[in-house]
Amino acid sequence: MGAVIAEQAPLKAEDAADLIRLLQSRQCPNCRLADADLVHANLRDADLKGARLQRANLGQARLDGADLSGADLSFTSLRGASLRGANLLGAKIYGTDLRDADLAGATLDNDALEEAHWQGAKAIATEARSHAALHNAGVEAAQNGRWPEAEHLFSEAIMRQPKEPLSWVARGIARSEQAKDDLAASDFRYAGSLFQSKGNSALSDQLRQAADTVQKRRTQTNKQPPGNGWGGHILSGMTAAAQVLAPLAIKAFVPMGLGF
């Protein structure tokens, strides 16, 4: 029943004896496995409660049904790993690489992925991603020109925090870049109403003007093709235009560098 780690498994870990114990039995609660090389390891149903796995490489590992509750996964690579049904409650997920991992049925704390890398991960429970994490992922997608993905992520962020106007503005930009004129205008107007309720009349007026501008684009399609920078263009006169797609500060829904 020993695990398979590619073809050769260098016994590199904080405690080599603990690593051998894990590979032989898959039962290693509280093991000291920092820096372990466990690429492609078959650790299905492994007991790793409270294990120290900082900086370990578990890329492409099979961890379906594994108990990682309370484990320290700081800066651990789980890229492409299968974590279907895994227990990650109480795990420290700081700087953890979960990109392209399969998290179907995995149990995580609310907002557990706030400080992790999870782009491309599958089947993440909605409650595991905070508003800020979703918004910031949308920002990254937008900055790389992936507008449909950005729109989807901003929509999820809005579901988590519907009264945060910046996510409505950001989704409006993403929709404008895809020539979804009416939807973009609606987002800008609603964001304007939220800023108005916060006492920011100037920004509210600018967003209403942006909404009018994007809706007028239908009559200008011969002059300006759909997309092609319209989202930024229509907001070019706003005080916050250059920063409106800035990442939100962790645990403080204030965009970095903004003054409103």
Residues above pLDDT 70, as percent of the chain:
77
- Cβ atoms of 139 and 119 within 8 Å: the answer is no
Domain 132-242 has CATH 1.10.1740: no
pLDDT classification of 148: cutoffs 50, 70, 90: very high
If you ran DSSP here, which 8-state letter would residue 24 be given? H
Which are the contacts of 145, defined by CB distance < 8 A and separation ≥ 6? none
Distance CA 182, CA 66 (A): 47
CATH top-level class for 1-127?
A: mainly beta
pLDDT above 90: residue 201? no
- Arithmetic mean of pLDDT, 37-45: 95
Structure-block tokens of residue 42? 């078959």
- Arithmetic mean of pLDDT, 105-129: 80
Distance CA 201, CA 194 (A): 10
pLDDT of residue 42: 95
Lowest mean pLDDT among 37-41, 136-140, 202-206, 217-221: 217-221
> What is the average pLDDT score of the chain?
79
Domain coordinates in residue numbering, the chain: 1-127, 132-242
R_g of the chain, CA atoms, integer Å: 23
pLDDT of residue 22: 93
Greater pLDDT, 220 or 241: 220
Same fold, 1-127 and 132-242: no
If you ran DSSP here, which 8-state letter would residue 116 be given? S
- Arithmetic mean of pLDDT, 241-247: 48
Residues above pLDDT 90, as percent of the chain:
41
Which are the contacts of 46, defined by CB distance < 8 A and separation ≥ 6? 22, 26, 27, 28, 63, 66, 67
Lowest mean pLDDT among 55-59, 125-129, 184-188, 225-229: 225-229
pLDDT classification of 260: cutoffs 50, 70, 90: very low
pLDDT classification of 247: cutoffs 50, 70, 90: low
- Smallest CA-to-CA distance from 31 within 44, 23, 19 is with 19
